[in-house]
A and B are shown apart, each in its own frame.
Chain A
Amino acid sequence: MRNRVPVFICGFVGIFMILKYFSTYSPFAKIAEELEQWGMVTLSFAIVLGVLNLIKINLKAVMERKKDWGYKLLLLVSMFTMMIAGGVKWYREEMAGRATGGLPVAIHDSLFDFMFDHVYFPLSATIFALLAFFVASAAFRAFRAKNVHATLLLVAAVIVMIGRVPIGGAIWKGFPWLQEWIMTWPNTAGQRAIQIGAAIGMIATGLRVIFGVEKPYLKG
């Protein structure tokens, strides 16, 4: 029973999703949308579990003064500060909304907005920007001509890189055409082969899960 109910729910929901995708019959779409709403509500409740896990692990490390406990303390302080600032912003917007007779009011000068714009957003952009340096270091390693395949990769990469910058055309007029040819034909053919294989793999895995042949969500 413990296993059958989740498998039944998974199969029931999965079949309605398939029917919604292929059918124009409106009741299927309505039922599937309703089920999607239930899924979203369940997922949003689950965020509490994540926050509790974060507090439990980091608080324990701080209390026991484990290695790097300072970072964990900073994480907890940041998390609670943002939560409180978000709560204060919501309260101010509610009060302002009531004063205008129930119209929604957006406040942009709150502590929450300040921290979002001047702390969170630059930090997030910094992590993303690191990618440029990682691309360089990964390319340096990948483009070593160790064997025939690596040499082919290196030659193709050099042609594509040179062909994509204005100096490439200045060195030899054929570089832009050659890089376009590599990207349009061999590259697209290779990518499509992987995409077709992955799409069929996804269909196979999806059907296995919907019909209960494979139950990764029940492995516990």
Chain B
Amino acid sequence: MRMPLPFEQTARTSADRAIHRVAKAWGIALVLLASESGAWAAETQRILPKEWNYLDVGKLPVLITLLLFGAFYLYLYRETKVGRPMRLRRLPGIDAIEEAIARATEMGRPVLFIPGINDIDDIQTLAGINILSHVAYIAAEYDTPLIVACRRSVVLTISEEVVKAASLAAGRPENYIPNNMRYLSDDQFAFTAGVNGIMLRERPASCIYQGCFYSESLTLAETGSMSGAIQVAGTANVAQLPFFVAACDFTLIGEEFFAASAYLSRDPSVVASIEAADRLKMVYLIVILVGVALATAVNLFPSPTLMTYLQLLKEIF
């Protein structure tokens, strides 16, 4: 039979007691389960201090991530203000967009852009629209027609404004062609069929997919590939990435897709957020390595203290 023991009764060293105080401050009570056979297991119980009554403690890891990101961002933003240069690595997928538009210009054919299939409340759609602004600017500079196919009417309205503004900024307002801004259908496969129709009838020389895609991703990318278009895709949907990698010439994978706007704009306040995200990743890398080391140690040398540390790490991150 297992007997639950509060951690403070089993804490032997001052380090153990310090960990217990940290855990208590986070609203976590550590409990060790002792069995007659002498085996130990660590468990945690949620005990909320009164002043934390309004906080959903189950979401603590996300809150910690947000706070860490905010702290890194504020620090790096101040650094950019005092002139510290921020460096971004090359993203071949973004560089390829300009080549794709140049190819369309040489061939005298349009460029097709799809800002994903989700509505404007999806962060991937917003990231896609950021890239659309850049694509529309280059297309206007090169005097190449740009077709934008949308599945949601709000996305269409915003895309119209974005393309109009980018064409104006490039000094070619006539490059904005209202008939090339197309709402096809709210239905996923009707939209897919509509885009395939545009690819096969109007033969765009370049197809750019940037946003959230689901099962239609391969149908779109394969049809584009068969029509001979150069294709650049970007999404954060892990399940669709293999399809885009297989069928497209360049693919922005996950974080690269979100870093694209910083890469394109070079705005220090946006670039600082990319570096803040990189630092956050370093923190998580360290946490993962510590977790792996602790889990291995618990496996090799089972001890109540190590189990408790591991459990605490799981609770906080």
Contacts and interface: CB of A to CB of B under 8 A. Distances in A.
Contacts of A139: 246
B139 interface: no
With most chain B CB atoms within 10 A of its CB, the pick from A50, A196, A214 is A50
Given A22-B59, A201-B257, A202-B123, A43 B193 contact: no
Nearest to A18: B66
A141 B62 CA distance: 40
A196 B190 CA distance: 33
Interface in A132-171: 134-135, 137-139, 141-142
Interface size bucket, B side?
Answer: 35 or more
A80 interface: no
Would you call the interface of chain B mostly helix, strand, loop, or mixed?
helix
Contacts of B201: 67-68
B244 to A, nearest CB: 10
A206 interface: yes
Contacts of B225: 138, 141
A205 B246 contact: no
Nearest to A61: B179
Given A198-B258, A202-B258, A137 B222 contact: yes
Contacts of A127: 189-190, 192-193, 219
Interface in B261-317: 261, 269-270, 273-274, 276-277, 280-281, 284
Interface string A42-63: 0100111111011001001000
Interface string B42-80: 000000000001111001001101100110010000000
Nearest to B236: A198
Contact of B165 (A22, A194, A219): A219
Given A46-B157, A207-B273, A217-B158, A22 B56 contact: yes
A50 B153 contact: yes
Interface string A18-48: 1001111100000000000001000100111
A204 interface: yes
B99 interface: no
A127 B189 CA distance: 6
A208 B269 CA distance: 9
B247 A50 contact: no
Contacts of B173: none
Interface size bucket, A side?
Answer: 35 or more
Given A71-B197, A201-B257, A214-B270, A53 B127 contact: no
B247 A207 contact: no
B135 to A, nearest CB: 12
Nearest to B285: A196
A214 B247 contact: no
A191 interface: yes
A203 interface: yes
B246 A142 contact: yes
A43 B154 CA distance: 7
A133 to B, nearest CB: 8
Interface of B: 53-56, 59, 62-63, 65-66, 69-70, 73, 119-121, 123-124, 126-127, 129-130, 133, 150, 152-154, 156-158, 160-162, 164-166, 179, 181-184, 186-187, 189-190, 192-193, 197, 201, 215, 218-219, 221-223, 225-226, 236, 238, 241, 243, 245-247, 253-255, 257-259, 261, 269-270, 273-274, 276-277, 280-281, 284
8 contacts: A50-B156, A127-B190, A127-B193, A127-B219, A198-B236, A204-B276, A205-B261, A220-B161
